[in-house]
Chains A and B, each alone.
Chain A
Amino acid sequence: MIFVQLFYEFFKTGLLAVGGGLATLPFLKEIALRRAWFSVSQLTDMIAVSESTPGPIGINMSTYAGFHAAGIPGAVVSTLSLVLPSYFIILIVSRFLEKFRDSALVGSIFYGIRPATAGLIAGAMYEVFVLSLFDPQAFAATGSVLDLIRMVPIIVYLAALAAVFKLPRVHPIVFIICGAVLGIALGL
């Protein structure tokens, strides 16, 4: 029964993949090799699609994989199975947190974790940042700093940065839509 198999595989992935959407990738690769549902190259295509569609990458991947395995019902079953373990884990964790939130020890732990979280987010964005604004490949080929800099994207970035700081009341979604329009208009 394919739905039971889908449930089993994606529940397992949701339970074991720690550290965000892309952490599901090695698990999905393993499923691709073991089952005839989708191929590794389809999975690679899916990374590109995930980066060009909204939504958490892990969810996009499981929906895509489930759809190829068993159509729309497959997509729904695999995505819900992926989400199910973390649903229960978060309910347990938040009960625990609520209980100990005022404890001084938990306060000390978060004193260390909060700046680290800021660093992690900066670190995760670093690659996107470099690839969007700079051209390390052209730089490696010619060695000229001028080739390293992508002029138009950097100007767009600085303008967007100024807008985001100067117009704090504007909803981030508005900026994102402007970004899409600018991207098409300027051929970024």
Chain B
Amino acid sequence: MPNYLNLFLTFARIGAFTFGGGYAMLPILQREVVDKNSWCTEDELTDMYAIGQCTPGVIAVNVATYIGNKCRGPLGAVCSTLGVITPSVCIIIVIAALLSNFAEYAAVQHAFSGIRIVVCALVTKTIWTMVRKNVRDAATAVFFLLSFCSVALLGISPVAAVLVCGLAGALLRGGKTEGGK
């Protein structure tokens, strides 16, 4: 298990390279937390994203708090949470103080167009992995497609999709033990 400094630094690294919101963080989080350090399982990470979606606050921060707490208790959660927010706090203060037109520089715009494309590719792989693991029958395929359409095309709140699919899962399975894990 990691020490406090380790938690802080790992999440600071994740925070410093998360471009475009919490979802874009998933590939880096997966690498650092699941593959490299085994601080939690892939399933736990997926569940945490669903929970982070339904609880108030910023998803990236919620996930950091959860993992820090799991590794080293409430104080560990303080370290990981401060870690994930520190890079953006510093960067934004510098930008707000010195570079008020930061987003208008041509080089910045080009760099971020490039980053966005790469993030799309990284997230495509993450989604592919999640689908292969969790879409196992007709019902789960419907859950996947419904929540995709509700967010991408209909603009329905993700919270509603999570609640409806969770309820549907409970009704379909009715608490029977999960087969074929």
Contact = CB atoms under 8 A, between A and B. Distances in A.
Interface of A: 14-22, 24, 45, 48-49, 51-60, 63-64, 67-68, 72, 75-76, 79, 82-83, 85-87, 89-91, 93-94, 97, 103-105, 107-129, 132-133, 153, 156-157, 160-161, 163-165, 171-173, 175-176, 178-184, 186-188
State the main secondary structure of chain B at its contact with A.
Answer: helix
B7 interface: no
A21 B123 contact: no
A114 B175 contact: no
Contacts of B140: 111-112, 114-115
25 contacts: A20-B22, A54-B91, A55-B15, A56-B58, A58-B58, A59-B61, A63-B92, A67-B96, A75-B89, A83-B81, A86-B61, A91-B69, A113-B165, A115-B131, A116-B147, A117-B47, A117-B134, A118-B46, A121-B127, A124-B23, A126-B151, A132-B113, A156-B114, A161-B124, A164-B121
A59 B89 contact: yes
Given A120-B151, A121-B126, A129-B120, A85 B57 contact: yes
A127 B46 CA distance: 21
A176 B17 contact: yes
B89 A76 contact: yes
Given A20-B59, A55-B15, A94-B66, A113 B92 contact: no
Given A15-B56, A79-B85, A157-B117, A128 B20 contact: yes
Nearest to B181: A107
Contacts, number: 387
A119 B114 contact: no
Interface residues of B, number: 111
Interface of B: 13, 15-23, 25-28, 31, 43, 46-47, 49-62, 65-66, 69-70, 74, 77-78, 81, 84-85, 87-89, 91-93, 95-97, 102-103, 107-127, 130-131, 133-135, 139-141, 143-152, 157-159, 161-162, 164-170, 172-178
Contact of B116 (A19, A110, A132): A132
Contact of A21 (B19, B21, B127, B147): B21
B169 A113 contact: yes
A59 B16 CA distance: 12
A180 B81 CA distance: 27
- Pick the 4 closest A-B CB pairs, nearest first: A183-B114, A112-B169, A55-B88, A86-B57
A112 B57 CA distance: 23
Contact of B85 (A51, A57, A83, A111): A83
B69 to A, nearest CB: 6
A113 B166 contact: yes
Contacts of B176: 104, 108
Contacts of A72: 93
B33 to A, nearest CB: 12
Nearest to B128: A165
Contacts of B50: 110, 113-114, 116-117, 120
A51 B112 contact: yes
A163 B117 CA distance: 13
Contact of B177 (A104, A112, A113, A176): A104
Nearest to B120: A129
A13 to B, nearest CB: 9
